[in-house]
Chains A and B, each alone.
Chain A
Amino acid sequence: MNEKVKIVWNGIIKENPSLRLVLGTCPTLAVTTLAANGLGMGLSATFVLICSGVVVSALRNVIPGKVRLPAYITIIATFVTVLMMLVKAYLPALNSSLGVYLPLIVVNCIILGRAEMFASKNKVLDSALDGLGMGLGFTLTLVLMGSIREILGSGTLFGLNLHLPVEPMIVFITPPGGFFVFGILMAGVIFLEEKTGQRRERKAGCAGCPSAEFCQAKESE
């Protein structure tokens, strides 16, 4: 059981997809102008991550290696289509605020990355847990970023007016503010890693990529 918890925990902190693996940066920066958008985006991605992880893992011995990427994309696109229909039907407000970023979950590199790095070589349950952990890590990051940007940029949190004594700084809901908060959060994670003695020396280029081992093994096949 401990192993299973570890898989989930891994995605939330140690290999947090946005802040440590630096995957899925586009939605991280684009939709986090409001905390609620971040939550919606994060949960949508979590749904697709878990479902596609289960299916990719179940079919891992059936899918031929050479066409695995198109196969993964097809599986992911299927779930995104389901998700889009659900969101359109039940959460039209979220649908309109996420806009194009909802269908773009298909090409979110966290999902393809986890399919390639984890689901395609692990059991079904483990893959589901990995999807859950990564999804939660992504969601937490988006909500955190969305909250910071919403409080500083609009003076509200989840739409509630906080009645701050100062004018909100509009720069935080513009792209430069997004990059700034993203950078500060990354620096914060590195600071925490150093304080807790978990900092690993990371190499530059391909060798420093967390998926290097797997990626290069596939290349040489």
Chain B
Amino acid sequence: MELHTSHLIVSPVPHIRDAVTTQRIMFNVILALCPALIASIVIFGWRALLVEAVTVAACVLSEYLWCRLRHKELTVGDLSAVVTGLLLAFNLPVTVPLYLPVIGAVTAIIVTKELFGGVGCNFANPAIVGRITLAVSFPALMTNYTYPTPVVACDAISSATPLGTDTAVPLLDLFLGTHGGVLGETCCLALLLGLGWLLFTRTIEVTIPLVYVGTVAVLSLIFQQGVLQQLLSGGLLLGAIFMATDYVTSPFTRKGKIIFALGCGIITCAIRFWGNMNEGVSYSILLMNLVVPIINDKTRRTPMGGGKQK
């Protein structure tokens, strides 16, 4: 950048800017979600793609309409609504009636994101709030985990999430995702591929997923639940990789991230082992989202030469 004395710019930090934009970060996340997207179509059939398309379209459209109606700058181009839409769709079972994704999208984009100031200002992950609103509103429709047209040949179709059944699903099925569940959570292989891409492009740090999954593993070991069973089933990997790592709603510092992920893991296990619900990932992330401002405040780094705060 050229500096002219006549154009001396006085501005707050940050002074060093990279070519990385919100759009590029979001594009990387979308790429990372692609394996899971493909897996969902392979496992659950073409209706999965329909549900995902409707959710993404509803999210983008809500954001577009809101910005137009409120005469705000159009933020659709930053792709964050697409990511929210994909994540929300990954939390829906394939059998949902198509108005459910629309309600979820409006809750996620307008209520959770835009009412609080738009991208970067949301108090919690929009997709999580959308999912929880739908789960609380339509408990029967949201837990209808059958898949009507299995493309992959399999011996048995389990109708509930493996966390809710007594019969153990073979670990290989859990890993490949050929069992009942919501669209994006079942195929652990695809989610791990996505994690690899996010780490490779340095979109996220490994801290949150590692500590989150590690906490669940250790607690499963302590309370004698099947460790691999706990890690591979339910929405744990989807939540730990894509939802808990949301920039806006996770702490800034590494110490903060560790505390955040520990909290997520403990709450998830508490709900899974002793709660009356099968799955606690979304609630645990929502709860920890809410305390992120406190974590950020308590783990603030002292600037060099700043001395200790009194």
B133 touches A170 (CB 8 A): no
**In the complex, what distance in Å separates the CA atom of A180 from the CA atom of B138?**
17
B99 touches A170 (CB 8 A): no
B-contact bits for A142-167, CB 8 A (1 contact / 0 none)? 00000000000000000000000011
* A74: interface (CB < 8 Å): no
On chain B, the number of residues with a Cβ less than 8 Å from chain A's Cβ atoms is 10
In angstroms, how far is the closest chain A Cβ from the Cβ of B129?
10
* B137: interface (CB < 8 Å): yes
On chain A, the number of residues with a Cβ less than 8 Å from chain B's Cβ atoms is 10
Partner of B138, one of A169, A174, A176: A169
* A104: interface (CB < 8 Å): no
A-contact bits for B75-114, CB 8 A (1 contact / 0 none)? 0000000000000000000000101000100000001000
Most buried by A among B111, B133, B137, B141: B137
In angstroms, how far is the closest chain B Cβ from the Cβ of A100?
25
B-contact bits for A167-192, CB 8 A (1 contact / 0 none)? 11111101010001000000000000
* B136: interface (CB < 8 Å): yes
Residues from chain A with Cβ under 8 Å of B111 in the complex: 180
A170 touches B141 (CB 8 A): no
In angstroms, how far is the closest chain A Cβ from the Cβ of B283?
13
**In the complex, what distance in Å separates the CA atom of A169 from the CA atom of B99?**
12
Residues from chain A with Cβ under 8 Å of B97 in the complex: 166-167
B103 touches A169 (CB 8 A): yes
> Which partner residue on chain B sits nearest A152 by CB separation?
B137
In angstroms, how far is the closest chain B Cβ from the Cβ of A177?
8
In angstroms, how far is the closest chain B Cβ from the Cβ of A180?
8
Residues from chain B with Cβ under 8 Å of A174 in the complex: 136
> Which partner residue on chain B sits nearest A167 by CB separation?
B138
Partner of B141, one of A167, A171, A176: A167
**In the complex, what distance in Å separates the CA atom of A167 from the CA atom of B138?**
8
Residues from chain A with Cβ under 8 Å of B141 in the complex: 167
* B139: interface (CB < 8 Å): yes
In angstroms, how far is the closest chain A Cβ from the Cβ of B196?
37
**In the complex, what distance in Å separates the CA atom of A176 from the CA atom of B136?**
10
**In the complex, what distance in Å separates the CA atom of A132 from the CA atom of B133?**
38
A171 touches B136 (CB 8 A): yes
Residues from chain B with Cβ under 8 Å of A171 in the complex: 133, 136-137
**In the complex, what distance in Å separates the CA atom of A176 from the CA atom of B112?**
13
Partner of A166, one of B99, B136, B139: B99
**In the complex, what distance in Å separates the CA atom of A169 from the CA atom of B141?**
11
**In the complex, what distance in Å separates the CA atom of A172 from the CA atom of B97?**
19
In angstroms, how far is the closest chain B Cβ from the Cβ of A164?
11
Residues of B within 8 A of A (CB): 97, 99, 103, 111, 133, 136-139, 141
**Can you list 10 A-B pairs with a CB-CB distance of less than 8 A?**
A166-B99, A167-B138, A167-B141, A169-B103, A169-B138, A170-B137, A170-B139, A171-B137, A174-B136, A180-B111
What are the 6 tightest A-B residue pairs by CB atom distance, in nearest-first order?
A: A169-B137, A171-B137, A171-B136, A170-B137, A166-B99, A167-B138
